[in-house]
Structure 1
């Protein structure tokens, strides 16, 4: 998993997402948003890792979004590949962005910025 911010690779662009954008409630402390596609093998592995972390860390939710079904959101957030993972803080601000299959330790470390 390559954790990065906005286009400069440092910080996200200040995007903020809410339940209406995600089709699900935000976590009380943080939300892991995963953009996936149907035939993406790394997406299945990513789903398992993020779901496990969400179960381990109180107040963290995992939301998976079908990139093909939500093209407007994909374009607005400049998602170029699947899986792409966004880490949101409790207010829905994107604090980290990652592309590729994550390692559990990387996800937990990225959550440190959100909580």
Structure 2
């Protein structure tokens, strides 16, 4: 399903309304089982800690990738996904559907729990 949004932008979503993202949009490979997408900015202190947490989890769980998106360089995507602060983390399933979303620095245990909804 494709829905038109204001300003002529198009938002690709699934029948249940979940947004689906592609490798081309993210600038990185999707994981075979799940993908952790992090929106960051250069001077964001919590973004550095989030990067460590997500990279560590991706390294522990087979089939999970971590993709970091520079929010300042990808403003169209930031607007489309309504990212209001950094870090913002999206958890995608194997098909690129957003199944969980959180703003702020996550705890490792919360990231692992969120992956359970994606796999």
- TM-score when scaled to structure 1? 0.89
Mapping for residues 1-115 of structure 1, pairs under 5 Å = 13-115=17-119
String of CA shifts for 1:53-96, please: whole Å, max 9, x gaps: 00000000000000000000000000000000000000000000
- TM-score when scaled to structure 2? 0.86
Which aligned segments of 4 or more residues in structure 1 are displaced greater than 4 angstroms?
Answer: none
CA RMSD of aligned residues (A): 1.1
Q: Which has the higher contact order (CA 8 A, sep 6+)?
A: 1
Point out the structure with max Rg over C-alpha: 2
What secondary structure does 1:75 align onto? helix
Unaligned runs of 5+ in 1: 1-11
- Quick one: distance in 1 between partners of 2:72 and 2:23? 19
Q: When the two structures are aligned, how many residues end up with a matched partner?
A: 104
What secondary structure does 1:42 align onto? helix
TM-aligned CA deviation for residue 24 of structure 1: 1.1
What secondary structure does 1:38 align onto? coil
The 3 A distance-change label for structure 1 pair 72 and 26 is: same
